[in-house]
Structure 1
Amino acid sequence: MSSYIERIEAYNFKSFRKKKTIYFSRGLNVISGPNGSGKSNIGDMLLFVLGTKSIHSVRADKLSDLISKDSGNTCYVIVTFKNDEGKSLEISRRLVIEDEPKSYYYVNGTKARQSDVEDALSAFGINFGTYSFVLQGDINDFVGMSGVERRKLIERIAGTEQFDVELEKARNDIEEVGKNLDILSSMIDIKGQEVEKLRIEKEKKERYDILSKRLRDIRFTELSKAKEANDRSIQAIDRQVDSIEKEIEKSKVLISDLNLRYHSIEQLLSEETKKLNDLTSGEIRTVQEKLRSLEISIASLDSKISEKKLRMQDMAKQEAIDDARREKYEAEAEEIRKSLESERRERDKLQEEFIAAEDEYNKLVAEAQEKEKENATSRVKTKDYQVKISKLNDEINSLKEKLAEINMAIKGKIDRITELEERMEDIGLKVKADEWKLSQNAEDLSKYRDRYYKLKSEYDEIQEKISKLSSQISAAEATARASVPRQIDRASQVEEIKKNISGVVGQIRDLISYGERYAIAVESAASARLNAVVVDTDVTAKRCIEYLREKKISPMTFLPLNKMRAMSNLSEPDILSRDAGFLGFLIDFIDFDDKYRNAVFWVFRDTGLVSDIDAGRRLMGSIRLVSLDGDVFDPSGSITGGFRRQVRQPARSPSEDLDSMKKELAFLQSEKAKIKKELDEALQSMSDASKKTGEIEKERQIINDDLAKNKQILKDIASELSKLKQEIAENKEEKEALEKDISDRQLDLHKYQEALNDIYDDLGQSIIDTIENSMRKLEDYRKKISAITADIEVKEKRVSFLDKESNNIVQQNIELEIQRKAVEDEIHNIEIQKRSMEEELKKHELFLKQLESSHSDIASKIKDMENEMKEIRSKIEEINSDVEIKRSILSELKVKRSVVADRNSAIEAEMQSIPEPTMIEGDIVLEKRKCEADISALGDINNGAIQEYEESVKAYNELKDKKNRLELERRSLQDLTDSLNKKKKEVFVSTFEKINEKMNYVYGTINGGTASLVLKGDDPLESAVEVSVTPKDKATVKIQALSGGEKSIAAMSFITAVQMLMPSSIYFLDEVDMYLDAYNAESMIRLIREKAGEAQTILISLKVSVFEYAANAIGITSRNGESYIFQKDLGEDRKVLGNES
């Protein structure tokens, strides 16, 4: 399928400033014109649209140079292709220079990418070769190339780049495989050493397993003997516990009576506290909210007042603008009126001179008639002819004046419409900008409003927290003063011991931490053991006990780290591990320093943690258990549980809670102040945004009103224009008829004048000349009077239009004054509303002060109640102190019994965990030392050595297999490289020989001599390529030694040879015959046309002889830097104009 360029349309492209269309035909299209007229810019048009398909680029330093100077910021080029089937393809590219150059491609009017353009050209059957475009300089470039550059050019033509890509990939692959082989060799060596090392470790592990079994049997024997001793200790502890429990019951009765009185006062305190909270969170909060609401409303009114005042300012500005425009119109009208007076006087003067000249003409005619008295008939005819000639002239002038008047009226209307359309466009753009600003401001206002209400919510929430926390602090202060729990006493006593005795670490409760979820379980399971004191040695423990006796301080339990037994490994019985209710050993949920592990283990032992009481009941018996709710399940069968107050971890005193609450209150008050500041800022931002929105809305409303008026005016003008166009159409018909009538009358006029001249032939020549001069003078007066009359009519219409516009502006100012008065009234009403709100704000501020005074009175009453409760609590604490000492002793006994029982449980569990135990007879200590010495001699043991050895041997064998495969792959890649080099050389040599053959043929056809390409070297792919030329009847020389014309023939022979080898649908040749004489130029053109076949050729040439072979001739001229086109289809001999205004 053959395709060709049908036409190129360009607008504002380089020297083609206005829209130009260039038509092309099949075959040879020749473009000619003076230097600098813009011929080569046609090639730039094609490269601009199709440049990605060529090795050339557009002649421009930057994209903006493609746009005609001082002619806007955009240009475009449209190229239309056509094929044998009559189908068309339109490719276009538009360039727009804004902040940055932007380029857009289109295929058949649809926006596309560069790749889409290439696909469309390919699908349409259009292909481009290496030399589809031969531009100015290509011939010199070829001549000036080095031999290596020519070889690389032929390589590109032959397409050997693909071989280079594949060769580079193969070389990289070989290098990569070599690196991998080196790495694998190192890995195999390392892996071999690893296998040998693991073999030794495997043998040690097997010996270790035998010794470990012997040690387990020894351990089983030790555990059996320890269990018998523990059973005897438990029986003695049970007898002591029964005695202490009876004494504690008596103290509980006395404490109960004091608690009744305490709770009675506590009830009254709760009621007063509720009143205080209700006052804080009820009325005070309501009044505060009302105050904030009033503040917001007042701010909103201030915003509205500002908006109204801004609107009034804008009205004043608009009124000033309208007054300036009105004054401008009135000044212009006055100036035109002065001009009219002058032109009217000039017209009157001309009319007087015309009448005088007409009288003179009549006298001359009468004088001539007197001299011809003998021919009365001639006098009658002369008079008749003169009357008819004058009448015809008047009628013709009248028609011309009428046509001039219609044309001037149409021009005035068109100018007015253009003015209004430009004004409408400006207003439309401003409205869009204001709408955008209004949208942005609305978003800001919404954002500020959301932020304000969010901050207000946070402010109210913090205010509520402050009120509640103030009440809690009041109650906590009383509690803190009235209650001093025993653990606080213990803590202070421990601190006193630490100051006097070195080596004291602290209480267990201070050395551990745990999650709040496990707090109750920890307190229940450990009980008084949490108060045990950790010391470094048993010597320190002795010194501490002596200090307690000296100071008469209740007994304490001390845990010397150097004597605490190491904890044994905890293992879960199968029944526990299979139950979802068993969470694990409690000690695993507690965090502590590992150096205190043995001390912590003394407190918790193997106590297990279960989810709830049902899980404890289900699993109890094997080990001691505690639930998350604090229920304790002893292996003996006892269950301890009931209500337990939620404890916080770590345990804190009421005074610490009070300090924490005060800190929290200070923080909340700080946050409140911070949020209040942000709240005020958000309110101000919201007010500012509201003002700005009002300004933009008002301005947009004014512009919209103006826009609506102008749209109506434009609609009216458009309607009038439609009428005028209809009238113009009618007038054109009338004009044609009049012109025909005028033509007929001018023929009659000519006949009359001829007849009149015949009559005058008998008169003297001087009289005839005088009459003719008088007639010309009369005609000149008529033309001047007609021109002045037409100009007067145009100016009178302009004055009428300006007066109308001035009246419209006056009316608009009246309407603006009415609107301004309405806005002033609105501002007055808003200010009245604002004053009312400010008075209400003052009333609410006074009421808030009264409520705060009531709040202070209730708080004082609460404080008195708290003091009374403190005294009662002090008495209870004295009794509790004695009970606590007894409980501590009781707790320690129970803990001791639990510890012994836990030891037995742990011993039983450990015994059960030893597989297939055997009792050892004889000296087990000696036997144990011997086994441990043998294990120690083995050194570090790798427990996974056996499996690792097997896996390492397997990996070693796999690495060797992988190395063998890579060596095969490297040999295969080397073979591929050799094959690609061979193919590349064959393709290059084949292409070289074909070009050489065709180049010699082309050169011989043009010049009659020979030309060839010569490889200088043994390896074609490394050789330089020289051009050897033998012109007709001359010696063989290199191309550099030829004359300018001979160089051009040799270079064009090479280019044409490439074109013959790689045909293209379209060729563009720019002055390739520049250096050729007429004969050689003609020979080359014949060859180009012959070898192009069905391809389309576009040739720029200054040679006249080439037009003989052209199917289409295109001429380019230039005026004032702008290119113009004229062309002729030499096949159909039809003229096509390419210039469009």
Structure 2
Amino acid sequence: MYLKSLSMRGFKSFADSTEFEFGPGLTAIVGPNGSGKSNVADAILWVLGEQSNRAIRAQTSQDVIFAGSEKRSPLGMSEVRLLLDNEDERLPIAFTEVEVYRRLYRSGDSEYGINIAACRLRDVHDLFVDTGVGQESYSIVGQGEIEAILSVRSEDRRELMEEVAGIGKYRRRRQQAQRKLEATEGNVRRIADIIYELTNQREPLEKAAEKARRYKELDDQLRGLELALLALDYRERDDRLGKFSNDLSIGKADAEGTRAQVNLLETEEEKIANELQRVENELSALRDQSREAEREAEKTEREHAISEEKLRSARERLQELEQSDEGESTRLAELAEQLARLIEQREAFRKREEQLAEGISGRRKELEQLEGRRRDVQARLGRMQSVQQQRVQEAQNLRREAGAMASLREELTERVQRLAGQQQALRAQVTSARERLEAQTARHDWLLRTLREHRAKRDIVAGAATAAETR
């Protein structure tokens, strides 16, 4: 693995895009003071993830961005790209060339990437771990660091030598193993506590599960018997309902027939009522005629009585005249003529009275006949109204029975649905209890397996730590 190229744009004094190409072996960068030689080393350290501003000779993170000059304005971004050859697969990535880049904006946002793909700073550190390249390695030595290395204590110098020799990674691994071992021991203790709690809960849960299974069996039997009984009751009621439905259909047909008969009776009743009105009108007319005939007969009788009285007076006058002077013969003849006229009038009045009596008798017979017809029509009308009321009552009774049957059917349907819902709820409860028991059992088994795995890992880590200490 070696450095192939370095590209910078906007990094410190490199305002324009600048690229350095390197090959295998040694490469020296020479130039006068202030030309940017140290900035190249700072760029390599910065792109590898250095977070210390002092290490790259800057006071703030914004100092790595080109600040501008008399002829150029400041830039808003700094970018460095580092291309490494990975033919020997030193880096744990399946590429023969690995490019790492880093960007920093004046807003404070920063970006890291490996082979064009964006990544985290931790990913860059993990890529170069155990390779001797990175922010904590000594592959890059800055100005003044050689004198600091020579003047440090022997313990610090030993640590430096171990890092250069590649032993430091084993020390870090040991520290990581110890931290993992401590975390594993904590997990083992927590798992032991959980297993203890679950062990105490397992027996009651098993008893509860057994009770739940027994309860489910008995409940299924009870539900089966209830459903069978309900089905039998439902069939019986359904048969009764079918019978009632047939009766209802027959009743409806009878009601239709009754309704047709009622309509016919109403039509006939209307006709009879019209006829009765006509008869009553005729009867009233006959009564008026009869009263008129009676008044005329009374008038005739009064005239007859007057004529009789005149006739009697004429006869008396005639007798008186016969007894009186015979010279009154002329007066006598007049009276005789007057008497003859009165007799004729009396006969005429008698004939007219007989005619009136016959007319009154005939009118009375017609009146009696009409009265009889009226009574017959009224009786027929009353019978028809009674039949109509009876038919209407029968239709109302059929409607009430149909409503009762429909309510009974709805009640049975609701009861069946309610029992089915209760059965499903109980089954769901039993299933939930069984699932909780199975989950607890599975968790208990998983915790046991995890405990054994952690113990095995602890033994492996302890062995590795012991071996590292021995080396």
Instruction: Tell me the TM-score normalised to structure 2 length.
Output: 0.41
- Report the structure number with the largest CA radius of gyration: 2
TM-score by length of 1: 0.20
